[in-house]
Amino acid sequence: MYSEPEGVRFVEKVFECGAGDYFDVYNFHYYGPVDGLLDRFKIDYEFLQRYGQATKPVWLTEIGLPSAQFSSEEVLPSERRQAGYLVKSYALALSLGVEKVFFFLFPTFLEHGVSHWGIYDHRPEQGWTPKPAYAALAQMTHLLREGRSLGRVEIGRTLRGVLFEVGTESVLVLWSLRPEGSALRLPEGGNLLARDLLGRPVELGADRTLEISHAPLYLSGDLKPLLQEGRLIPPVCGRELPKAKPLGPYTVLLRCQPNVAAIGDRVRYDVQIYNETLFPRKGELVFSTSRGRSTSRWVPGLFVVEAGGLFETSFEIELQSASTGEEVQTVTLLEEGKEVARAKAFLDIVNPIEIASARLVAGERPADLLLEVVLANHSSKQRDVRLGLRPTSRVRGFPRLERFRLEGIAPFQQQAFQFPLPEGFRPGQRYALLSEETEYEFYLDSPYVYLHERALEIDGKPDIRDLSVWHLWKEEQCVVGRDLWDGPQDLSGEVAVAVAGHALYVAGTVRDDDRCPSIGREQPWTGDAVELFMDFRTQDLGKPAYGPGVFQLFLVAPSTLVPEGRLVMWQPAKEEIRDAPFAFRTHRGGYDFEVLIPLRHFGLEELRPGRRFGIDIVLDDRDFYEGRFKQMAWQGTNNNWRDPSRFATVVVVR
């Protein structure tokens, strides 16, 4: 599955690198209007032809359409569309010569809270229940059996279909391209039987008129008079798709190793020139890049290759003056100044050092605060790095730029460095780390959870004076739906956690420009909510597997579904928490929240100073009008629900 144009270039890269000789089946995915399947398949088949792989079988390993977001006792229109889509997608794919088709998906699956996939539904009251698409699949299998496609059929401008030969009988799967449907007057004579996509007989009108909609139907019997009014397009793809270009005098291959390189690295290029003619040939070899960098001194000039022979050469380039991003690099063969062949290679150029993360951690003594910086070396060389740390605000009294030198970062490795927090730098403020190539902004969020000794009133007005405030605000923290995130006003927040007697106090502010309920009580993550992840294990703290002592809770924002909000323990066992006071205060652009959770729900009696535990905060957001879903995590990932290893480690202090 790919989108244009990025995905097309990726597939072309795969074939350019010679991968076609190393697969037995070419598979692709398609999600979109079913009538666009032909255009999509043409792209893939052109690649197969161009690179000599057109005899390989083709499988469509994913195609599908979700049904409704909400279950209902009635058959929803979207479920009927799904059933019609299934039949048309199978028929069209087989008509193109695709060998196997895999429809996504059999069991029910709710993706990101907005796409209800599957042709079987599970409802608490009824158990497993087939959707119309399941019945349509069963009927199609019964009618077409082991039949083979004879090709696509076009009748007029609005009717499309696929003709199958099933034993001695012909079966036509037929549908209309028009949303309002089409009327087809069947020719006189011939014994025709019409069935809808569920196999029910369809009666003809008095003048032998058949009403045909978007949903396909089956016609069987004597189809010859009808087919004479249309056009049959055979399933042999090469007859209708562009042919491969005639073989030229050369076949040229260009490969680069590695195909992802950092500025300052050396890249090796291997060139192979095959002479496809019966005569010796010679010419000039020219190397160029899509960004116009000067490359003449890196390339051998002339080449000579015998009849039917092979010329090979290699050269290296040091990426000194490159900029980051994808670069298309081309070898062009010239004879007497005229281009006769070319080949392309694709190189992704990256910065040698990436600042992966920066955060405060507590040392062995809780009073010792350490700045932990994780650096990733993407280059082939060991790197020493100079970093600068400065506040993002130029307020009088803030410290000047603090400099660090980090040595010995191994090639292609990620390494964490810890050093004492410089004097004058305070937790809770916003800072920037600077390397030679990049700048990384972050909040110095404190790793402390304070004992809250003031009396608390849970009224939806967070009492976070003198508490550690944790910030969720960066694009990198958006672990689901990052490409949909429109900035801090779309989703962001500040959260504070404290120990208040024998309870855990959690409070904060969430910015959300479009509040929306979850899709049912059984899926609280599909609406606006705050997730709280806790790891109270002592021996196995931070290990990447759930076990006793690891918890997941949802604090669900008020909505039409839950007007007062909701607090529920989700892992290790689902349980409504009814003895924990919580409150929300909604306002334009978001909401504030407070909750006081008794420690006994975590199997604890108290949390004393010095106790360390793991924690992460996740904000869930669904925007109703766009049907979009996003998640933002303070420290972890979208796999928090099954992997506690990325939770932050905090320490209780007085």
Domain 451-653: assigned CATH number: 2.60.40.1190
CA distances from 297 to 157, 293, 311 (A): 59, 11, 20
CA 563 – CA 143 distance, rounded (Å): 51
Alpha-carbon distance 529 to 582, whole Å? 13
- Which token pair is 15? 């074939």
Nearest to 572, CA basis, from 475, 488, 642, 629: 642
The answer to whether the peptide bond before residue 258 is cis (omega within 30 degrees of 0) is: yes
For residue 26, is pLDDT > 50? yes
pLDDT at 238: 40
pLDDT at 171: 95
Highest mean pLDDT among 122-136, 498-512, 563-577 belongs to 498-512
Count CB neighbours of 602 within 10 A.
18
Residue 425 amino acid letter: F
pLDDT band at 5; cut points 50, 70, 90: low
Helix axes 37-50, 6-16, angle to 10 degrees: 20
Q: In the chain, where does the domain assigned CATH 2.60.40.10 lie?
A: 250-350
**281 pLDDT band (50/70/90 cuts)?**
very high
SS3 helix, strand, coil % of the chain, rounded to 5?
15, 45, 45
- CB neighbourhood size of 648 (10 A): 21
Q: Is the pLDDT of residue 626 over 80?
A: no
Count other Cβ atoms within 10 Å, centred on residue 33. 11
Q: Say what the alpha-carbon torsion angle 163, 165, 170, 176 is, to the nearest 10 degrees.
A: -20
Q: Decide if 467 contacts 498 (C-beta within 8 A).
A: yes
Most confidently predicted of 51-60, 209-218, 281-290: 209-218
Q: Report cis status (omega within 30 of 0) of the bond before 77.
A: no
Backbone Cα Rg of the chain: 32
User: Pick from 634, 630, 640, 472: which is nearest to 545 by CA?
Assistant: 640
The average pLDDT across 445-463 equals 91
Q: Which pair of tokens denotes residue 366? A: 């809780």
* Closest by Cα among 515, 634, 500 to 580: 500
What pLDDT shows up at residue 460? Answer: 94
Q: What is the secondary structure of 54-69 as a DSSP string?
A: TTS-EEEEEE---B-S
Least confident of 130-144, 248-262, 331-345: 248-262
Mean pLDDT along residues 208-231: 90
Backbone angles phi, psi at 637, to 5 degrees: -135, 180
Q: What is the mean pLDDT of the chain?
A: 86
pLDDT at 243: 41
> Is the link from the previous residue into 5 a cis peptide, with omega within 30 of 0?
yes
Measured CA to CA in angstroms, residue 289 lies from 15, 254, 296 at distances of 20, 13, 11
Q: Among residues 529, 537, 531, 539, which one has the least CA distance to residue 614?
A: 537
So what's the pLDDT on residue 58?
92
Percentage with pLDDT > 70 across the chain: 90
Dihedral sign computed on CA atoms, order 339, 345, 351, 355: positive
Distance set, CA 283 to CA 246, 254, 304 (Å): 21, 17, 7
Nearest CA to 629 out of 541, 525, 503, 506 is that of 525
DSSP state of 123: E
Cα–Cα distances in angstroms (integers) from residue 647 to residues 184, 219, 536, 556, in the given order: 63, 60, 11, 21
Is domain 250-350 given the CATH code 3.40.830.10 in the classification?
no
**Statement: residue 237 has pLDDT above 60:** no
Burial class (CB in 10 A: 0-12, 13-18, 19+), 125: exposed
pLDDT of residue 296: 47
Under DSSP, the state recorded for 40 is H
Residue 563 tokens, joined: 């007007």
Query: 597-617 pLDDT, tens per residue?
Result: 999 999 999 999 999 999 999
| 58 closest CA partner among 20, 28, 26 | 26
More confident residue, 519 or 224: 224
Helix (H) or strand (E) holding 140: helix 132-144
- Compute the C-alpha angle 389/393/399, nearest 5°: 50
CB 506 within 8 A of CB 618: no
CATH of domain 353-443: 2.60.40
Q: Among the residues of 350-492, which ranges form H helices? A: none
**Could you tell me if 171 and 121 are in contact, meaning their C-beta atoms sit under 8 angstroms apart?**
no
> For residue range 75-106, what is the model confidence (pLDDT) as tens digits?
567 888 899 999 999 999 999 999 999 999 88
Mean pLDDT of 410-420: 92
Residues of the chain with CATH 2.60.40.1190: 451-653
pLDDT given at position 396: 47
pLDDT, mean of residues 150-170: 92
- Give the burial string for 201-226 (b: 16+ CB within 10 Å, else e): eeeeeeeeebebbbbbbbbbeebeeb
Question: Confidence class of residue 242 from pLDDT cuts 50, 70 and 90?
Answer: very low
Indicate the pLDDT class of residue 504, thresholds 50, 70 and 90. very high
